[in-house]
Amino acid sequence: MHSNNRDRFLLEAVLAGDEEAFGRLYDKYVVKIYRFVSFRVGSKESAEDLTAEIFLKTWQYVKQGSRQIENVKALIYRIAANAIIDHYRQSGNEYLALSEDCWNQIVDQTSLSDEAQKKDDLRQVYQAIKFLSPADRELVLMRYSNDLSVKEIAEILGKNPGAIRTALHRALKTLKAIIKNQVKT
């Protein structure tokens, strides 16, 4: 069965009294959402708190039953994106779409991998992404780090897929230019 149909099936099951169905949905998305949040907030504790809050908010949205849910995955990510923005708003910090702490953590963890060069490459990637505008950074990360389709990104951000495709194309072009420049210097 198509993944989204399966997700909607699970939502129907939970509304029919099978809470374990929501557990299955949680199992399917918890790691992805945790990664999505971690990339953006950095600290493990904040990522854990926010991820738990996102699933709770998803359940609260589902139980209201006010609107037909077309795409469950996009809904969870939209709730996640809003929760992260709220988190930044409350802390008064600027939203960066990529936390340096989180990236450093990734660089430190790569010791299991076989490539010695990988750490340097990862640092270079971070430097390149950092030069992108926050909006472009968000698009690139959603597409490549969170493996979301253009249609899903459009649904999460509440925009037209065509506009997202164009914006993503431009963001990648900019990233390419930054990397080219990095190589030259």
The residues binding other proteins (CB under 8 A) are 1, 5-6, 8-24, 26-27, 30-31, 34-35, 38-39, 47-48, 51-52, 55-56, 59, 63, 65, 68, 102-103, 105-106, 109-114, 118, 121-122, 124-125, 128-129, 140-141, 144-147, 175-176, 179-180, 182-183
Least distance to other proteins from the beta carbon of 8, Å? 5
CB-wise, 92 or 165, nearer to other proteins? 165
Task: Quote the tokens at residue 87.
Answer: 């988190």
Contacts within 8 Å (CB) and 24+ apart, 136-141: 136/167, 136/170, 136/171, 136/174, 136/175, 137/96, 137/97, 137/98, 137/171, 138/97, 139/164, 139/167, 139/168, 139/171, 140/168, 140/171, 140/172, 140/175, 141/39, 141/97, 141/98
Give the C-alpha separation, 92 to 87, whole Å.
9
CB-wise, 51 or 92, nearer to other proteins? 51
Report the 10 Å Cβ neighbour count for 99. Answer: 18
CB-wise, 34 or 77, nearer to other proteins? 34
Least distance to other proteins from the beta carbon of 149, Å? 14
Least distance to other proteins from the beta carbon of 132, Å? 11
Give the C-alpha separation, 137 to 87, whole Å.
18
Give the C-alpha separation, 40 to 119, whole Å.
20
Least distance to other proteins from the beta carbon of 16, Å? 5
Least distance to other proteins from the beta carbon of 30, Å? 6
CB-wise, 134 or 144, nearer to other proteins? 144
Q: Which amino acid is at 16?
A: A
CB-wise, 89 or 180, nearer to other proteins? 180
